[in-house]
Structures are given as structure tokens and as C-alpha cells.
């Protein structure tokens, strides 16, 4: 089973096994691979919070949003804040690339490091925009993002200062 | 005692695997999807039923007598539509609240669970990779984690993680508490962690085991030697940490810590002591203190992290036993004529330290990283050769250097490519052209993510030298060799 001492090459058996594995990997990739959907210009991201939270916070900067979603800022002007993720591919990618300059997988890995080293707890996430709106409406300090301007007295859009 | 301890370890492992197996029920993710589907079906049925009722009531064929008993009979069409909408909304809210309560109870009152497991197959030419018999192809590379945590208040969080690893001959499914901390996050600029805390040292010391977050299958050995993992992975003590915003410039992150730790049995240095025939009686790091400081700019350079770490430590290692003639010959460079030599050895170090400088840049799908580390050990070693009635005391100075540069690119949702070049010098004061004193490694990795939880990595290493290996890893060695790895892992 060991490699050839003179040439350092793999024996026939290993080469066949490796070849099969690589072919299987390529085949699986061809079958399952899907390009990331390119963010479309039609979708716009609105940062939302409960109306009382939004009023208390006033306007935020893009850097504030980045730090809140990285868990590095939990207190803005005396208000405890925490991020809420929308787990929908296109809005999520657009939000992460706009505000955090990260891909979805990089963001997921960032929080896995925090969780598996005992240094943080990943943000709560929801599959639908209505769930995000419902959660932020009933949880002061929760900051989320959606792709439409909600007509609601309970939820308001946070202005992002340049 | 050992049997009881082993039994506890295996029972704990089984419990962890069981919990991992029923994770969806705990996480509530699949359950909520199924529930959502059921809810939507119920909603659709309800809407259909009400629509039919409205249509029947508004039908010209419907008789006044038939309608008179229904409260909907005299309502205007727009009011009926509003009523239907409101009714569905109310029911949806009630159902959701009910199911949310179910989900809360399923997550065991706010406890959060996470885990991971990896398995690798490695095959190499000419040299074994550390203590693993990779020349013959080996599956002796497995690890698993399981953690549980709870946010007790908005400032206080607690949790712990267990870690199980099979790593060649040195570590056979050894079970350990990886971290167990209470974390008081008082302000963003000041928090305190206490307990067994993962050591912040350089870029990836605390995350080197987290295979799911890295592109590579084997971390750059020049800095993250897996056989020496236990010496720096965590400490029992206290950390203070925080992030200080520098107005419009970025964020300064700091961590400072003090504590102690002990070298685990599988540590490469202790394993090489065992190889000589001796037993380790004591292997403690009574003092470990250090800090990490890094800067993350904002604006054009968002995604850049540049920093430095420093750790000072002392250690005491005591060993005794009968050293084998082969080890003795290797040690003294000459044959002694003794069958075995009974001896005891003690090693106590003076000012020793690890210093690291690093940078990482992540932007969209691209990631680049570089790190340099120096480890300096200044120790006094005393050896009492009881069989020979002789004692030897010497100063053992070791100046180890290592660095790597690497990068990765995410092609799409599933594919990622990565590569690094790492260089290691075991003792910078010794001959740099001696293959036993250096190890250079060029690695190329292809990673494929089946889904967010399951991935496969294929990695090839082209190696020169064997400076990271220990004496017992290989009988014969070649300067140039290669290592091929396939690794798969699951995490949740």
C-alpha cells in the first residue's frame, strides 16, 4: 500500500481510488453546482427596527450596521441592539456584500468561529421577511433587513447616513 | 478508576452523538419548515372554505331564507373580504405563537447546541505525516466537537465544549473539555471571560480545530502543528477583551489573558519522551499570560485585519523510567553498553515566549492571510542517570520560526479553491540546510460544499524536509515527499 520508494509515485490501487474519488467529486459538482444568483438592482435593502427603537437610534452609518451584524457593537447611544438575519439567498447576499463586504459563506464561517470557540452566539435568523418584521416589531433593540418598505406603525426603516 | 473514567467518556460521547442525531428537533429548523408547510396548507383550506361561503352567500341563486341565518348574509363584499383576511391573520398568529412555544420547549429553554465531526484519509510518499502511518494510507484522523451554551442575560453567557480526537498513534479518541466559560460582556469595549478559555494567539490558534470554517484540510504546520495543539489551544484563567472604535478609522480589538494549563498526554514533545522508554510524571504550564491586539480599518480597507500577539509562559516537565539503548545512543551519540538506563529528567524553563504578527484580508469571495511566529524557549534540563550514577545539567535554548502565506477564492456556492506555502525552522541557530531542521510545505486544496452543513476537501501537499516530525515518526526519511488528503466533515 505504500508509495513507491524510488519515484514517490502512488501505487496503481491508490491511483485508481483517487481517480474515482476525483471523478465523483467533479460529477457531483456538475450535477449540484449552482451559480450564486447575482444581486439584481431591482432589490433594495431596508434596515428595519421597531418604531420606538428606530426613533431612539435616529440615523446609523453603514459601519454601525456592519459592526452590529458582526456582534462587535451591541450598544448604540445607550440602546442595546442585536442583529436579526433574513435567510433568503438573494437579499442576504445583497445585504452582506453591501454592508459587510462578505460573502454568505464567509459570514456563516465568522459566526461558526465565534460559536465553536465560545466567544459569541450567532444571530437569530428567519426564513421570511414577514417573520423578520414580526420579530423586530415585538423585540426592542432588534435590527433586521428586508427588501420592501413596510407600511406598519410598529416597524420603521432606519435611515443610513452617508 | 481508569475504567470508570473511560466509561464516563464513552457514555458522554454516545449522548453527544445521540443529540447530534436528533439535532433537527432541537434546532427546530426542519420542524419549523414542516410546520410552516402544514400551516400554509391549513391557511389555504381555510381561505378556500371562506371564499366558498362568501360566493354562496353572494350568489343570486341563494335565497333570502337560506342567507338569513348567517351573520355574513347582510355584509358588503368588501367587508366580507376584510373579515376573511382578518380571520386568516388571527389564526395564523395563534398558530405561530403556539408553534413558537413548541420550538422554545424543543430548544430546551434557550440552550443552544452545536457540533461537528470530521474524518480524513491521508496517504504520503516516503515519510509519514507526524505519527500517522500515512505511508500505508491512514484513516487515523478524526475529530468531533459538541457544545452547549446559553445566553443567561443580555450581558452574561455561559457554555462548554467537548472535543474528541483520533490523531495517529498519539491520540486515540481522547476526550477533553475544549472550553468551558462564563462570559460577561459589560460593554463593547470591555468584557471578561473566565474558566477554560480558548487562547487568542495569532490568527487561528483558537479556531485551528474548526475544519468547517477553513479551506484547508491541514492547517499550515509551520505554525499550527497538530501534534503540539494541546500546549496553546486553551488555558484555565481569565481573559479581558473588547473592541474600541477609532473614530472613522476602524476598530481596535484587544484580548489579554492570564492562566495556566497542562500539556496533554498526546503532546508531541511528551510522546517523544515516551518513545525513549520514559514516563512523564508531570507536565504543567503553571503560568501562561499574553495579549493580542489587532486593527480592522473601515472604508476602502474594510475586511483587513492586521495584528500581533505575544504570550509568555513557564513549564515544568518531569519524567522518569528506563531509557532504551537506542534512545540512549541517539541521545549521547555513542553506545553505552547498558541494556537500559534508569534515569529521571526534569525540565524547567526560564523566560520563554511566543510572538506572532499576522494579517488577513477578506473581501467578497476572496481571502488572503499571512502569519509569522517565533517561539523562544530557554530551559534548564537536569538528567540523573541513576544506572550510571551520573548527573547532567544543561541549558536547552530553542528558537523556532515559522511563517505562511495563503489565500482562497469561493468560485460559487459550492466550490472553493485555496492554497498556502508554509515554512518552518525548528531551530534558527542550527543549520538551515539540514532537512531535519526545516519543513517547507506547498498545499493546494479544492473544497466542495454539498450544503451548508456538509463538505468534502481534497488537498495535496508538496513537502521538503521533516523539521516538524519527531524522531519516532519515521525510520527512514526522504527530503522531498508528498501528502494527499481527502477529508469530509459535518457541522451544525
pLDDT category at A13 given cuts 50, 70, 90 is: low
Query: Does residue A92 register a pLDDT over 60?
Result: yes
Closest A-chain CA to B205: A117
C-alpha cell at A69: 451584524
| CB-based contact B316:B286 (threshold 8 Å) | yes
pLDDT in tens, B307-323: 999 999 998 888 888 88
Question: Over chain A, what is the mean pLDDT?
Answer: 82
How many angstroms away from the CA of A157 is the closest CA of chain B? Answer: 23
* pLDDT score of B369: 97
How many angstroms away from the CA of A77 is the closest CA of chain B? Answer: 12
| CB-based contact B208:B229 (threshold 8 Å) | yes
Closest B-chain CA to A27: B448
Closest B-chain CA to A73: B188
- The answer to whether the CB atoms of A2 and B135 lie below 8 A apart is yes
Maximum Cα–Cα distance for chain A, whole Å? 77
Q: What are phi and psi of B405, to 5 degrees?
A: -130, 145
- The answer to whether the CB atoms of A116 and B114 lie below 8 A apart is yes
C-alpha cell at B59: 350568489
CA contacts within 13 A on the Cβ side of B221: 25
| CB-based contact B386:B342 (threshold 8 Å) | yes
Enter the ipTM: 0.76
pLDDT in tens, B407-437: 999 998 899 999 999 999 999 988 889 998 9
- Which chain B residues are closer than 8 Å to A32 by Cβ? 414, 450
* pLDDT score of B43: 55
- The answer to whether the CB atoms of B179 and A66 lie below 8 A apart is no
Nearest to B259 by CA among B224, B279, B277, B232: B232
* pLDDT score of B349: 77
- Strand pairing class (B352-363; B366-385): antiparallel
Burial A25-36 (b: 16+ CB within 10 A, else e): beeebeeeeeeb
Strongest mean pLDDT among B36-40, B225-229, B424-428? B424-428
Minimal Cβ distance to B302: which of A29, A101, A109:
A101
- Mean pLDDT, residues B172-200 taken together: 93
- The answer to whether the CB atoms of A28 and B448 lie below 8 A apart is yes
* pLDDT score of B204: 96
Strongest mean pLDDT among B72-81, B109-118, B347-356, B441-450? B441-450
Nearest to A74 by CA among B189, B188, B255: B188
- Which chain B residues are closer than 8 Å to A37 by Cβ? none
pLDDT category at B129 given cuts 50, 70, 90 is: confident
- The answer to whether the CB atoms of A29 and B181 lie below 8 A apart is no
Burial B104-132 (b: 16+ CB within 10 A, else e): eebeeeeebbbbbbbebbbbbbbbbbbbb
- Coarse DSSP helix, strand, coil percentages of chain A, rounded to the nearest 5 percent: 45, 20, 40
Q: How many CB contacts within 8 angstroms connect chain A with chain B?
A: 140
* pLDDT score of A2: 47
- The answer to whether the CB atoms of A109 and B212 lie below 8 A apart is yes
Q: Which residue of A66, A116, A141, A162 is the best one to mutate when testing the B interface, meaning the one whose CB has the most B CBs within 10 A? A: A116
How many residues can be counted in chain B?
492
Question: Over chain B, what is the mean pLDDT?
Answer: 81
pLDDT in tens, B453-472: 999 999 999 999 988 877 66
Higher pLDDT: B189 or B18? It is B189
How many angstroms away from the CA of A112 is the closest CA of chain B? Answer: 7
- The answer to whether the CB atoms of A14 and B213 lie below 8 A apart is no
Distance CA A90, CA A104 (A): 10
Distance CA A160, CA A45 (A): 11
DSSP, collapsed to helix, strand or coil, labels residue B283 as strand
Query: Does residue A33 register a pLDDT over 70?
Result: no
- The answer to whether the CB atoms of B251 and A72 lie below 8 A apart is yes
Closest A-chain CA to B482: A8
How many angstroms away from the CA of B414 is the closest CA of chain A? Answer: 6
Maximum Cα–Cα distance for chain B, whole Å? 118
pLDDT in tens, B349-398: 777 999 999 999 998 889 999 999 999 998 888 888 877 778 888 888 88
C-alpha cell at B223: 505554525
How many angstroms away from the CA of B429 is the closest CA of chain A? Answer: 31
Q: Which residues contact A70 (CB under 8 A, 6 or more apart)?
A: A100, A110
Minimal Cβ distance to B137: which of A14, A63, A118:
A14
Minimal Cβ distance to A117: which of B206, B363, B449:
B206
- Mean pLDDT, residues B123-143 taken together: 88
pLDDT in tens, B237-253: 999 999 999 978 899 99
* pLDDT score of B39: 52
CA dihedral B19, B20, B22, B27 (to 10 degrees): 100
How many angstroms away from the CA of B198 is the closest CA of chain A? Answer: 6
Query: Does residue B478 register a pLDDT over 70?
Result: yes
* pLDDT score of A50: 94
Query: Does residue A25 register a pLDDT over 70?
Result: no
* Residues in chain A whose Cβ is within 8 Å of chain B: 1-5, 8-10, 14, 18, 21-22, 25, 28-29, 32-36, 63, 66-67, 72-75, 80, 97, 101-103, 105-106, 108-109, 112-113, 115-119, 121, 127
Amino acid at each position: 500500500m505504500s508509495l513507491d520508494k524510488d519515484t514517490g509515485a502512488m501505487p496503481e490501487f491508490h491511483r485508481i481510488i483517487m481517480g474515482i474519488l476525483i471523478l465523483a467529486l467533479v460529477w457531483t459538482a456538475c450535477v449540484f453546482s449552482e451559480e450564486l444568483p447575482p444581486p439584481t438592482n431591482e432589490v433594495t435593502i431596508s434596515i428595519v427596527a421597531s418604531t420606538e427603537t428606530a426613533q431612539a437610534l435616529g440615523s446609523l452609518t453603514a459601519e454601525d450596521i456592519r459592526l452590529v451584524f458582526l456582534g462587535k457593537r451591541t450598544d448604540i447611544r445607550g440602546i442595546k441592539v442585536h442583529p436579526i438575519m433574513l435567510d433568503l439567498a438573494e437579499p442576504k447576499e445583497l445585504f452582506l456584500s453591501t454592508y459587510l463586504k462578505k460573502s454568505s459563506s464567509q459570514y456563516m464561517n465568522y459566526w461558526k468561529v465565534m460559536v465553536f470557540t465560545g466567544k459569541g452566539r450567532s444571530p437569530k435568523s428567519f426564513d421570511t421577511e414577514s417573520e423578520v418584521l414580526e420579530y423586530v416589531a415585538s423585540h426592542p433593540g432588534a435590527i433586521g433587513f428586508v427588501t420592501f418598505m413596510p407600511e406598519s406603525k410598529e416597524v420603521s426603516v432606519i435611515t443610513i447616513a452617508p | 478508576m481508569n475504567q470508570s473514567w473511560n466509561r464516563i467518556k464513552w457514555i458522554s460521547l454516545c449522548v453527544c452523538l445521540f443529540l447530534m442525531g436528533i439535532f433537527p428537533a432541537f434546532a427546530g429548523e426542519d420542524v419549523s419548515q414542516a410546520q410552516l408547510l402544514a400551516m400554509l396548507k391549513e391557511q389555504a383550506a381555510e381561505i378556500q372554505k371562506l371564499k366558498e361561503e362568501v360566493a354562496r352567500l353572494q350568489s343570486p341563486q341563494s335565497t333570502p331564507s337560506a342567507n338569513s341565518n348567517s351573520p355574513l348574509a347582510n355584509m358588503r363584499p368588501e367587508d366580507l373580504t376584510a373579515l376573511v383576511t382578518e380571520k386568516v391573520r388571527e389564526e395564523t398568529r395563534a398558530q405561530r405563537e403556539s408553534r413558537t412555544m413548541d420550538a422554545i420547549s424543543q430548544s430546551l429553554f434557550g440552550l443552544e447546541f452545536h457540533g461537528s465531526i470530521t474524518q480524513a484519509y491521508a496517504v504520503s510518499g516516503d515519510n509519514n505525516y507526524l505519527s500517522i502511518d500515512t505511508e500505508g494510507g491512514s484513516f487515523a484522523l478524526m475529530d468531533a466537537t459538541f457544545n452547549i451554551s446559553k445566553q443567561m442575560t443580555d450581558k452574561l453567557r455561559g457554555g462548554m465544549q467537548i472535543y474528541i480526537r483520533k490523531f495517529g498513534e498519539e491520540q486515540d479518541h481522547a476526550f477533553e473539555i475544549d472550553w468551558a466559560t462564563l462570559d460577561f460582556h459589560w460593554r463593547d469595549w470591555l468584557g471578561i471571560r473566565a474558566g477554560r478559555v480558548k487562547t487568542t494567539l495569532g490568527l487561528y490558534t483558537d479556531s485551528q480545530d474548526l475544519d468547517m470554517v477553513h479551506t484547508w484540510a491541514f492547517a499550515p504546520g509551520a505554525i499550527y502543528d497538530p501534534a503540539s495543539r494541546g500546549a496553546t489551544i486553551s488555558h484555565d484563567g481569565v481573559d479581558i477583551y473588547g473592541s474600541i472604535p477609532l473614530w472613522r478609522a476602524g476598530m481596535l480589538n484587544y484580548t489579554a489573558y492570564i492562566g495556566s494549563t497542562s500539556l496533554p498526554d498526546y503532546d508531541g514533545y511528551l510522546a517523544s519522551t515516551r518513545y525513549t522508554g520514559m514516563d512523564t510524571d508531570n507536565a504543567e504550564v503553571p503560568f501562561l499570560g499574553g495579549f493580542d491586539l489587532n486593527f480592522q480599518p473601515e472604508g476602502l480597507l474594510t475586511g483587513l485585519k492586521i495584528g500581533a500577539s505575544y504570550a509568555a509562559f513557564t513549564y515544568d516537565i518531569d519524567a522518569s523510567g528506563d531509557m532504551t539503548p537506542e534512545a540512549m545512543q541517539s541521545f549521547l551519540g555513542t553506545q553505552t553498553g547498558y541494556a537500559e538506563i534508569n534515569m529521571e529528567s526534569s525540565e524547567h524553563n526560564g523566560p520563554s515566549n511566543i510572538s506572532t504578527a499576522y494579517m488577513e484580508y477578506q473581501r467578497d469571495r476572496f481571502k488572503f492571510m499571512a502569519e509569522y511566529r517565533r517561539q523562544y524557549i530557554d530551559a534548564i534540563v537536569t538528567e540523573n542517570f541513576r544506572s550510571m550514577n551520573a548527573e547532567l545539567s544543561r541549558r536547552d535554548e530553542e528558537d523556532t520560526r515559522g511563517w505562511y502565506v495563503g489565500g482562497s477564492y469561493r468560485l460559487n456556492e459550492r466550490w472553493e479553491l485555496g492554497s498556502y506555502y508554509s515554512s518552518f525552522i525548528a531551530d534558527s541557530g542550527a543549520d538551515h540546510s539540514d532537512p531535519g531542521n526545516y519543513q517547507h510545505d506547498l498545499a493546494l486544496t479544492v473544497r466542495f460544499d454539498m450544503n451548508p452543513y456538509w463538505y468534502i476537501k481534497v488537498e495535496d501537499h508538496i513537502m521538503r524536509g521533516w523539521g516538524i516530525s519527531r524522531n519516532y515518526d519515521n525510520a527512514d526519511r526522504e527530503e522531498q515527499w508528498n501528502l494527499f488528503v481527502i477529508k469530509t466533515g459535518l457541522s451544525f
